[in-house]
Structure 1
Amino acid sequence: MLFAHDVEISLRAAVALANSAEAPDTFTTVQDVDAWYVEHGYTGRRDGDVAELDELRALRPALRELLTADRDTAAALVNEMLLDARALPQLVRHDDLDWHLHAVPSEAPLAVRVAVETAMAVIDLVRADEMSRLTVCTDATCEGVVLDLTRNRSRRYCSTTCANRNAVAAYRARQAEPRT
């Protein structure tokens, strides 16, 4: 583990939400929110309505901007997000999780919590000069965000689909080369 558990969870959730805007959009129903909420271990307030879906969908461009920003821009965006939410970091322990940071109450709207938790996670990346852990997919037809938490920084694709597509293309190109 390169970063604290809550940092990695927040980054994975933010990347998944930001990437859901890539064609085809995979975040269009309240059920999509339900699945994302459970998959990424969110707790606290959950309205489960179209307004919440719309708020999360509206957050995606800001998350993408933050997750693909250079270090100085990311720092400015983090500060803006935390100020907008009037974030007040607190150590909390709940469910089966040990002490970790929350910066807004669990009763805050889900989109606000996602924005603040992502901003708090990016703080660790900025402070450690690790913004290079976030890149854009190497696939020429994709703009997905890649979160690389590997030790050797080898992740290049946002999904298995993009990685497989490129592996198959490379294989076919090798097979098409004339043999000498």
Structure 2
Amino acid sequence: MANELYPVFLKVHQFDTLIIGGGEVGLEKLTFLLKSSPSAKITLVGQSIKDEIKKLAAQHGSVRLFERGYFNEDLTGMQIVIAATENNETNDAIYKEAKRRDILVNVADTPELCDFYMGSIVNKGDLKIAISTNGKSPTVAKRLKEVLNNVLPEEIDDLLQNMRLIRDSLKSNFGEKVKKLNQITESLVSKNKTQSQ
């Protein structure tokens, strides 16, 4: 079966996100979102909320916690929903209600109930690389993340900042800019090819 995923990078801080579940899975999803987008607007609802979640929320003013059961009304005004309870029936009900309201939904560890996956992310300054295995193996994605983190130098962000300055200084039209920037960056690929031979 073909991989139908289309990768995008969302400006999550511009969306209202709901995480339902205050346990270990909820903590994982909250941590993942805040690592990528520290100012993400997140509401987390959980019957019981782990202390680690409370500590993390205290460090991020954009996170609201409600220690109580989930209600369908919690979905009102949300654009992204992550169902992270440990109850399959509850997760299934959240999925159905989110779909009824046309809200993007991710049900943790249930690929068939996901509009999107939360892949592994490599982050080096402004460089961000997302890795997905189409829901097949988050463990493989995690290992690939480790490899890329080790291979990519920390100085890659300096290169990105310099390339932006070069791009901004070019006075030609878009096509000419692309051609010039391709010539400049071609040496990066050719050096790596030479070193690997």
**Smaller-chain TM-score bracket:** under 0.3
Instruction: Find the structure with the greater CA-based Rg.
Output: 2
Higher strand share: 2
Higher helix share: 1
The answer to which structure, 1 or 2, has the higher relative contact order (CA under 8 A, 6+ apart) is 1
TM norm structure 2: 0.25
TM norm structure 1: 0.26
